[in-house]
Amino acid sequence: MSKGALALLVHGGTENWSPQRWKVRFDDVCRDRRVLLLPDPALDPAEVYYAAVWKPKPGELAAFGNLRVIFNLGAGVDALMADGSLPDVPLVRVAVDDLTERMTEYVVLHVLMHHRQEPYLRESQRVRRWAPRYQWAANALTIGIMGLGTLGAAAARALRGLGFRVVGWSRSGKRIDGITCFHGAAGLDAFLRETNILVCLLPLTQDTRHILDRDVFLKLSRASPLGAPVLINAGRGGLQNEVDILHALDDGTLGAASLDVYETEPLPEDSPFWSHPRVVLTPHNAADTDADEISKYVARQIGRFEAGEPLDNVVDRERGY
């Protein structure tokens, strides 16, 4: 009996993330199965049992009538959930230590950057100004993490380990040692009132779109040596109201923002974020997924699935993440 093929549909990406690189990795870990890099003119759609995808075009996956599992090559599945014709088979997202560690690095880097007043110090160096400012202790700040899933919980623990006070917010209730956890709409205001640096690691869903808006920024705590609160968003651009962020930065509601994600990516050349003095900007690379790690993760899951074992990290289509 045919083992079926694995179809690779990868749009966008950098050199390390090229479709060809994924093909080489998948050929290596799926040696007993045909791996097809699409578009492939010789493709028989009925042959495809598995698809490993990043940002497939809406409707692309509907062509495969025998599809058994869709593997998203990243953690966030918002692009797939927006495809009304997505086949009704399990959709698996990435949750692996490698990605989690990369995101923890990004969050720790940016929290420390604001806490240790790095933008001021770099500017001082640029203008040859010897004007030290007092450096307060980590426990003078409360970091609030929105989203206490795979990535948020790991970042929360790392920040706690550095001595920050950490609070978190999720949909369902959580217990994490040393972290004060809030949940649901009822817990949001209390969470924001405690927070000096807001870190967003939520998925983009119908419930979270544009959650980072002026109302939220106004509720953040100003009671810290930072003065105005800081926003760090590495979730998705659709979580943020970008006009509200710019107004909040300009009128002092927010002191600074670190942004990795944007409503429109690549960020348009005329975006005010590029040159804003209080924005630290990165090009959606807080936590890249690594083709070596993820291809092994997918191959392991296919093995489990074919042995009748449950798949890990299956997306709940109702919740949208």
Q: Which of 37, 69, 151, 257 binds ligand NAP (CB under 6 A)?
A: 151
Of 171, 226, 152, whose CA–CA distance to 195 is shortest?
Answer: 226
Q: Choose one: 117-125, 132-140, 200-208, 269-277; the region binding ligand NAP (CB under 6 A).
A: 200-208
Say which residue the tokens 């110090």 belong to.
121
Evaluated on CA atoms 213, 218, 219, 224, the torsion sign reads positive
Residue 203 in contact with ligand NAP, rule: CB under 6 A:
yes
Helix orientation angle between 291-306 and 19-29, rounded to the nearest 10 degrees: 40
Closer of 75 and 91 to ligand GLV (Cβ): 75
Distance CA 220, CA 195 (A): 6
Of 200, 201, 186, whose CA–CA distance to 230 is shortest?
Answer: 200
Residue 111 in contact with ligand GLV, rule: CB under 6 A:
no
Could you tell me how many residues of this chain bind ligand NAP (CB under 6 A)?
Answer: 31
Of 237, 257, 235, 262, whose CA–CA distance to 245 is shortest?
Answer: 257
Q: Which of 70, 220, 230, 261 binds ligand NAP (CB under 6 A)?
A: 261
Residue 75 in contact with ligand NAP, rule: CB under 6 A:
yes
- Residues with Cβ within 8 Å of 254's Cβ and at least 6 positions away in sequence, in order, are 217, 220, 228, 229, 230, 231, 245, 248, 278
129 is catalytic: no
Residue 149 in contact with ligand NAP, rule: CB under 6 A:
yes
Residue 286 in contact with ligand NAP, rule: CB under 6 A:
yes
3-state SS assignment for residue 36: strand
Q: Which of 30, 35, 51, 74 binds ligand GLV (CB under 6 A)?
A: 74
Concatenating the DSSP letter of every residue in 151-200 gives HHHHHHHHHHHTT-EEEEEESS---BTTBEEEEHHHHHHHHHHH-SEEEE
Residue 91 in contact with ligand GLV, rule: CB under 6 A:
no
Active-site residue, selected from the candidate residues 21, 236, 276, 317: 236
Least distance CB 137 / ligand NAP (angstroms): 28
Q: Which of 104, 289, 295, 301 binds ligand GLV (CB under 6 A)?
A: 289
Which of ligand GLV, ligand NAP, none lies near 114, with the C-beta cut-off 5 to 8 A by kind? none
Measured at CB, which residue is nearest to ligand NAP? 149
Distance CA 44, CA 81 (A): 25
210 is catalytic: no
Least distance CB 290 / ligand GLV (angstroms): 11
Report the DSSP beta bridge partners of residue 6. Answer: 35, 50
Q: Which of 90, 144, 152, 238 binds ligand NAP (CB under 6 A)?
A: 152
Active-site residue, selected from the candidate residues 34, 278, 284, 317: 284
Contact 251, 278 (CB under 8 A): no
Least distance CB 43 / ligand NAP (angstroms): 30
Query: Could you give the residue numbers annotated as active site?
Result: 236, 284
Residues that bind ligand NAP (CB under 6 A): 74-76, 95, 103, 147-152, 169-172, 201-205, 207-208, 234-236, 260-261, 284, 286-287, 321
